[in-house]
Structure 1
Amino acid sequence: MSSPPATAVVVAPPRRNEWILIAFTILTNLADAVMKIALPLLAVRLTDSPALVAAVAVLMTLPWLTTALHIGVLVDRWNRRNLMIGAEVTRIAAMAVLLVTVLTGTASLPLIYVVAFGLGVAEVIALTSAASIVPSAVPRARWQTVTARVTAMEYLCNGFLGAPLGGFLVAAGFALALGATGLVYVLGAVLLLLLAGQFAPGAGQERRSVGVEITDGLRFLWRTPLLRTMALLIAVMAGCWSAWLAIIPVYAVSGPLALSESQFGLLMTAMGAGGVVGTLLVGPVNRLLGRFNAASRLVGWGLTPVAALIAGVLAQTVGYRVAFGVFAAVCLCLVVPYLKVVTGAALTIADQR
């Protein structure tokens, strides 16, 4: 009599993976937030042109428009942890190069632009991979909880905590800010090495052309009415936020407000606090979008470099008030379509689907 076929034993991922992912999110988002403050302020020391300073924000967000689709396909094909480690190595190298130029007094706008774009590409890779690695790193029953915690830590650290930290570190010296940020990225890479599990795509996964896979991903998002509408609304809101962020450094530090770099950090703290409050108020929507993190980020953040560029040009040609006013009016116009589309019934239907 033949023996019965062996039954595959599925080993649940260790619980420590959850805390590693949360710690990684905290550290890297704090570091990212510091760089979003440090790079524009470093540019302000080299120029007082709103357009040239806004170019830093444009280049930091441009990868969401130019590379996110192809990186999304890459994440579906390659080991997600290796991609995240590669992103950390890129960030560490960028910090090292920039630190050397600051210490030697050779920092320049072209170098800042290259570093900004490199950090932007690394951010797309890291965030898209992090969104896809949760099912492999965390037991299925914990997916929703971990996604919610990671999202909360991202908003808290990238906005509320990271902004003042960046301002104070820069006020203490750019060398200190860059060195501390580089060390944080190193620690993030070490944490990723401690993850246990299999993070490569399934061996039997069908391989098709990049164009076909991109089209399939966008078609899935477009066929879900609520997610489609929310992604478009988020695109406009994220664009407005990017526009303000692009011109605030030069307006606040070398412009009419004449703030110190540490005072600028406090200003960003107030803006970050609003983001934390908003996260708490829209919990159901935030949890829903968390399941389609990569797709929603792709559409939602793709407009940010365009808006930052427009803001810089407006501030340069017609003044800060017009630039701020235009995007404030655009944001205000989104309230009505949001209230009409995001209803309890719509959330329930999309959640079931």
Structure 2
Amino acid sequence: MSESTSKLPSAFNRLWRSSIVSNLADGLLRTVVPIYAISLTESPILISLISAMTLLPWLFFAVIIGTLADRIDRKKLLIYSNLLRTSVVAAMAVAISAGVMTIYLLLALIFIAGACEVSIDTTAQSMIPELLEKDQLERGNSRLYIAETVISQFIGSPLSGFLYAIAVVAPFYSASAGYLVALALLVLMPYQSLNRTVREAKDSSSPEDARARFIDELKFGIRYLFTHQRLRQLVIITTILGFLFSASSATAALFMVKELGLDPRYFGVVLAIQGVGGVAGGLLANRLSTRFTRGKTLAATMILATALIALTGLVPNIYLFTVVATVAGMASTIWNILLMSTYQVLIPNHLYGRIHGARRTIVWGLMPIGAFLGGVIATGGLRLPFIICGILGFIVAIRALPFVISVANSTISEEESETA
């Protein structure tokens, strides 16, 4: 067994540990912010804007930040973004303690924190192909996904509720402290950007030339995405599936409570059980890919996940819902891990930031529209979003089957040729 397959690099492990602490803080915030917002306003529109403010930065900033990640030292960008996020969450805690927090201030701070998340996610994803060999990508991505699910969903969310019961502001201070620890781990991470020397040499010219070059590179990243046939087609497929998933899940909580009779007190329990599927998916992704090939595993989980969305709309009780949703979560996690590994091979590392940003702008930028559409569909019945979106997704998955298998398996050939 080669060194690349037996041990992941220390720099990646430091990034992973930082991610663990950051995910804990994410879980604290994700649970407490909606609960606290209800104490500020009872307006459904204002409450719904919390989700919108989290996703909108992807639409506005992903391409720009992705281009920055390809031009400057990625470790520095990651550190500065984490520093700003830590400060924003600390500002939330101070405003609450001082009694000056309003729903509008909360929305503004959430938007800024969301922009930081765009920078952190894009930059970290851009660093992974630098930190890992190509045959380590699936293992590394699996480790990150498992950490995100376990720490955020199983520990962060229930801990947030416990801290909120002690003091309203406690989860906010705790989240800020968590981000600060994650920041310290990043500062200590051994990493040297492969892009640094080239970028600094390029930008030794006048500021006007640097700005012009930045705009040119931004345009190039977008153009590359749309002219690269395999990338373009893969992004189209994932955009459609993401849109349909967002539409199907927009009213899931209402479906569970109103249609299936779930006591709201046990909502968190159901979510935690579903998280088991995510953990299982993270553990199985690399093994299934090795045994059946990346392409076949991606295709199978795509088919399974979309079929289970449609089946969700037909379940008679919360128990079957939980089982179906857990298996769907496992399939979705495997899909996401292998899809990210495929992108990390397809996209050249020196272009990864801007192309990843452009991709996320399209995929995530349309999700809020999908969620709104799901709410409109649900006015005709809470089961309809699952059934309609699941069937449409299944049709898309069937049509995309040959391409997904082909493009994903081609990345395995590229990995083998580089490691041979």
User: Which category describes the TM-score, using the shorter chain as reference length?
Assistant: 0.7 to 0.9
TM-score after normalising by structure 2: 0.67
Given the alignment of the two structures, is residue 289 of structure 1 paired with residue 348 of structure 2, yes or no? no
- Alignment correspondent of 1:267: 270
CA distance in 2, matches of 1:286, 1:20: 20
Gaps of 5+ in 1: 1-13
- Aligned position for 1:301: 364
Question: Is the Cα contact below 8 Å between 1:25 and 1:154 reproduced in 2?
Answer: yes
Q: Which residue pairs with 1:334 in the alignment?
A: 393
Point out the more displaced range, 202-211 or 16-25: 202-211
- Tell me, yes or no, if the aligned pair for 2:63 and 2:361 is still in contact at 8 Å: yes
What do residues 37-77 of structure 1 show as CA deviations (whole Å, max 9, x unaligned)? 32222223333443322211111011111111111111111
- Pick aligned residue for 2:409 from 332, 348, 353: 348
Q: Does 1:66 align with 2:70?
A: no
Counterpart-to-counterpart distance in 1, 2:116 and 2:380 = 31
Q: 2:142 aligns with which of 149, 152, 167?
A: 152
Q: Sequence identity, in percent?
A: 22
CA 1:345/1:200 → structure 2, altered by over 3 Å: closer, same or farther? closer
Q: Are the counterparts in 2 of residues 63 and 117 from structure 1 also a CA contact under 8 Å?
A: yes
Inter-CA distance 143–336: structure 2 relative to 1 (3 Å threshold): same
Q: Which amino acid aligns with 2:138?
A: A
- How far, CA to CA, are the matches of 2:99 and 2:258 in structure 1? 20
Considering only aligned residues, what root-mean-square deviation do their CA atoms show, in Å?
Answer: 3.4
CA distance in 2, matches of 1:230, 1:273: 28
| DSSP 3-state at the match of 1:45 | helix
Q: How does 1:185-196 map to 2 (within 5 A)?
A: 185-196=179-190
Deviates more, 1:218-227 or 1:51-60: 218-227
- Deviations, residues 12-61 of structure 1 (Å, cap 9, x unaligned): xx932121011122222332233223222222333344332221111101
Counterparts of residues 82-93 of structure 1 (less than 5 Å): 82-93=76-87
Alignment of 1:69-108 (within 5 A): 69-108=63-102
Q: Which has the higher helix share?
A: 2
Q: 2:155 corresponds to which letter in structure 1? A: L
Write the mapping of 1:1-353 to structure 2, written as runs, cut at 5 A.
Answer: 15-136=9-130, 138=131, 142-145=133-136, 147-172=137-162, 173=164, 174-199=168-193, 201-205=195-199, 206=202, 209-242=213-246, 259-260=264-265, 263-275=266-278, 276=281, 277-278=330-331, 279-280=333-334, 284-291=338-345, 292=347, 294-295=356-357, 296-310=359-373, 314=376, 319=379, 321=381, 325-326=384-385, 329-343=388-402, 344-349=405-410
Letter in 2 for 1:175: V
Rounded Cα–Cα distance in structure 1 between residues aligned with 2:263 and 2:225: 44
CA distance in 2, matches of 1:175, 1:54: 22
Gapped regions of structure 2 (runs ≥ 5): 1-7, 203-209, 282-329, 415-420
How many pairs align?
Answer: 330
TM-score (norm 1): 0.78
